Amino acid sequence: DWTMGAYREQMIATIREQVGDKRVICGLSGGVDSSVAAILIHEAIGDQLTCVFVDHGLLRNNEATEVVGMFRDNYNIQLIHADESDLFLGELDGQSDPETKRKIIGKLFIDVFQKYADTIEDAEFLAQGTLYPDVIESVSFSGGPSVTIKSHHNVGGLPEKMGLKLVEPLRELFKDEVRALGRELGLPDSFIGRHPFPGPGLAIRCPGEITREKLEILREADAVYIDQIRKHGLYDEIWQAFVAILPVRTVGVMGDGRTYDYACALRAVTSVDGMTADYYPYSHEFLGETATRIINEVKGINRVTYDITSKPPGTIEWE
Ligand code: XMP
């Protein structure tokens, strides 16, 4: 007789037995998997758990505050908010090659995580929100090219380097089961149903050089776009939706004047697992209304396009 309630109790016992009176560090990304793992471990061992939330300055509007607030206020989990945006944006300054940008972010992420983890005395375990499909995927790809989708957040190689043992309470679960467990643990539906957000964050939605100005424009446009999607009741039908700011400025007219501002692309796809995807068939009315809102409400954008590429041949993200 298998229920989520029973799984929860069983995992709590397993975690207690594995960890004993030692300390556990958990990297929080703000995503569902690491959040559910952290909350479950916190139920098992309370203050023996410390979470580290690495803020690389590439998050969406209010995202850091929301994640940090939820864990500190609602769950009372010990949490280090590592605001390292100056470091990340500094190293990314002037870089426009997609792979170089990803490598910089991946390396800094590990450095930063390690720096904060080193401040936690007697840490013996590293918690990760690894799911069953991640386990399968990393096995089948081992030795091959580094194509694991989540290599960035499942801080590969870090546990060995730091001499930490792994705690992976979600290793037997599929995504829908993790969501069910999250509900069981009291996470709000709005959080559990959130679209996936990539580890490198807005960096891969800002093709070309990343500047603070572009990031700010991108954040505002993304917020308007997601607001539109929610208002039209489409959020749960779409697997992932976001804005990419394009590395080009174009000419427009506004009132009596000429504008010369950035163009952006809206993206929305349906998918089961992110491996393949179809672009979402919005109505022209929705697209027109959204374009008008973005151009009127977001200073710095004067042209909106809709990306109608499916995957394959496109990827979901722009980089
Ligand atoms: P692509 O762009 O490869 O994206 O079609 C497929 C899914 O994976 C997400 N994605 C990432 N997630 N670290 C992550 O944690 C990454 O480096 C990364 N790259 C892409 C993307 O948002 C989509 O859901």
Residues having CB closer than 6 A to ligand 1 are 149-150, 152-153, 196, 198-200, 240, 274, 311, 315-317
- Counting from 1 in the atom list of ligand 1, the atom nearest the Cα of 239 is 24
CB under 8 Å to 66, separation ≥6 — which residues? 30
ipTM entry: 0.99
Task: Please give the pLDDT value at position 2.
Answer: 73
In the chain, the domains with their CATH numbers are 4-192 (3.40.50.620), 211-306 (3.30.300.10)
- Measure 149 CA to ligand 1 centroid, in angstroms: 6
- Measure 252 CA to ligand 1 centroid, in angstroms: 33
pLDDT band at 30 (very low <50, low <70, confident <90, very high): confident
Task: Please give the pLDDT value at position 278.
Answer: 98
- Measure 239 CA to ligand 1 centroid, in angstroms: 12
Which residue CA neighbors atom 21 of ligand 1 most closely? 198
- On whether 34 is known to bind a ligand per the annotation, the reply is yes
Task: Please give the pLDDT value at position 157.
Answer: 65
- Measure 117 CA to ligand 1 centroid, in angstroms: 26
The Cα–Cα gap between 136 and 51 comes to: 26
Q: Furthest-apart CA pair in the chain: how many Å?
A: 71
Decide if pLDDT at 67 tops 70. Answer: yes
- On whether 35 is known to bind a ligand per the annotation, the reply is yes
Provide the Cα torsion 170, 242, 66, 210; round to 10°: 110
Paired sense of beta strands 123-127 and 165-167, if any: parallel
Task: Please give the pLDDT value at position 138.
Answer: 64
- Counting from 1 in the atom list of ligand 1, the atom nearest the Cα of 315 is 5
For residue 260, give the nearest of 299, 292, 213 by alpha carbon: 299
Decide if pLDDT at 186 tops 70. Answer: yes
